[in-house]
């Protein structure tokens, strides 16, 4: 489709139990910028920063009081408590980007995905990432080596509950081979961008096509 045809941005929601590879896939999508041009929605969280994380890049790390202030002033499109911490999506940045035709990536849990699906149904494309096995999930959480042992155990305990949410997503991908899973996410983005109802600019394009005079 020609780039001149205007369309509204889409909201690509990626969720998974912790350790299934969602952040890895998100990183691959974001660094593949030339082709996919997705922008990450940067959440606010009350969780402590991991050693590898950068304020304003991975999250905005805030105190609980500040989180409550944002939530109570309707500055978050969705929010949830996950693994004992609060997380939320800032409203303004996401809404401006979508209106501008910028596609956004949301790395959020099932509770947030449900809220976005309710509030912004036509804009959301949701993908759930599953691990190939529970043993692989455990192994990946340990290999990531960024969380303490008790945090890893809590995340594993929560994984079954999270996996049970798979049915409320548009697409489900089993992340066994990372490159294959990435190709599958890419294909979904490409196809969803071409949906007729996402491209209001098609009306003008088709009119001008039909009006075109041939010699
Ligand atoms: P999540 O964001 O879902 O919690 P991460 O993306 O941080 O998970 O991945 C957890 C760990 O698993 C990381 O060390 C990552 O490099 C690794 N990983 C991700 N996908 C795969 C895969 N397909 N095969 C093997 N390891 C993977
Ligand atoms: P982590 O602490 O591993 O970065 O994230 C824990 C969980 O919180 C992940 O499932 C992640 O997708 C989710 N999460 C991150 N940001 C948000 C957010 O803004 N809203 C919601 N609902 N979940 C989030």
- Domain assignment of residue 4, yes or no: no
Q: What distance in angstroms lies between residue 2's CA and the mean position of ligand 1's atoms?
A: 36
Query: Of the ligands numbered here, which is closest to the C-alpha atom of 86?
Result: 2
Give the global pTM: 0.92
Helices then strands, counting H and E runs in the chain, come out as 9, 9
Q: What is the mean pLDDT of residues 103-110?
A: 95
Q: What distance in angstroms lies between residue 118's CA and the mean position of ligand 2's atoms?
A: 18
Bridge partners, residue 12, by sequence = 105, 125
Whether 175 is in the pocket of ligand 1, judged by its Cβ within 6 Å, is: yes
- 52 lies in which domain range? 11-194
- Domain assignment of residue 211, yes or no: no
Which of 41, 49, 87 for a ligand 2 pocket mutation test, highest count of atoms within 8 Å of Cβ? 87
Tell the residue nearest (CA) to atom 2 of ligand 2: 47
**Per-residue pLDDT tens over the stretch 26-46:** 999 999 866 788 999 999 999
Structure tokens at 61: 């790390």
Most confident of 16-20, 65-69, 136-140: 65-69
Most confident of 22-31, 173-182, 198-207: 173-182
The pLDDT > 70 percentage for the chain reads 97
Nearest to 30 by CA among 42, 20, 19, 18: 42
Residue 61 DSSP symbol:
E
Q: What is the mean pLDDT of residues 117-128?
A: 94
pLDDT at 117 over 80: yes
Number of domains in the chain: 1
- Domain assignment of residue 91, yes or no: yes
Average pLDDT, the chain: 92
Tell the residue nearest (CA) to atom 16 of ligand 2: 108
Whether 162 is in the pocket of ligand 2, judged by its Cβ within 6 Å, is: no
Reading phi first (left if > 0) and then psi (alpha if -120 to 50, else beta), residue 105 is in beta
Nearest to 129 by CA among 10, 12, 25, 11: 25
- Domain assignment of residue 3, yes or no: no
Are 168 and 15 in contact by the 8 Å Cβ rule? The answer is no
Structure tokens at 211: 């009006």
Q: What distance in angstroms lies between residue 72's CA and the mean position of ligand 1's atoms?
A: 34
Annotated binding site for ATP: 16-23
Are 140 and 19 in contact by the 8 Å Cβ rule? The answer is yes
The CATH number of residue 110's host domain is 3.40.50.300
- Domain assignment of residue 111, yes or no: yes
Residue 47 DSSP symbol:
S
């Amino acid at each position: 489709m020609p780039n001149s045809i205007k369309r509204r941005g889409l909201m690509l929601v990626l969720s998974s139990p912790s350790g299934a590879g969602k952040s890895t896939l998100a990183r691959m999508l974001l660094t593949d910028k030339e082709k996919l041009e997705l922008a990450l929605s940067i959440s606010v969280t009350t969780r402590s920063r991991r050693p590898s994380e950068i304020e304003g890049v991975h999250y905005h790390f805030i105190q609980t009081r500040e989180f409550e202030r944002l939530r109570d002033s309707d500055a978050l499109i969705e929010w949830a408590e996950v693994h004992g911490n609060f997380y939320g999506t800032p409203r303004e940045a996401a809404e401006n980007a979508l209106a501008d035709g910028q596609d956004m990536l949301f790395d959020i849990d099932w509770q947030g995905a449900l809220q976005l699906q309710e509030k912004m149904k036509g804009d959301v494309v949701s993908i759930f990432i599953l691990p190939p096995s529970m043993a692989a999930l455990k192994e990946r959480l340990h290999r990531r080596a960024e969380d303490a042992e008790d945090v890893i155990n809590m995340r594993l305990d929560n994984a079954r509950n999270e996996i049970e949410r798979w049915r409320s997503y548009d697409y489900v991908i089993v992340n066994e081979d990372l490159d294959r899973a990435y190709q599958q996410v890419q294909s979904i983005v490409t196809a969803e961008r071409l949906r007729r109802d996402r491209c209001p600019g098609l009306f003008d394009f088709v009119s001008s096509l039909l009006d075109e005079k041939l010699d």
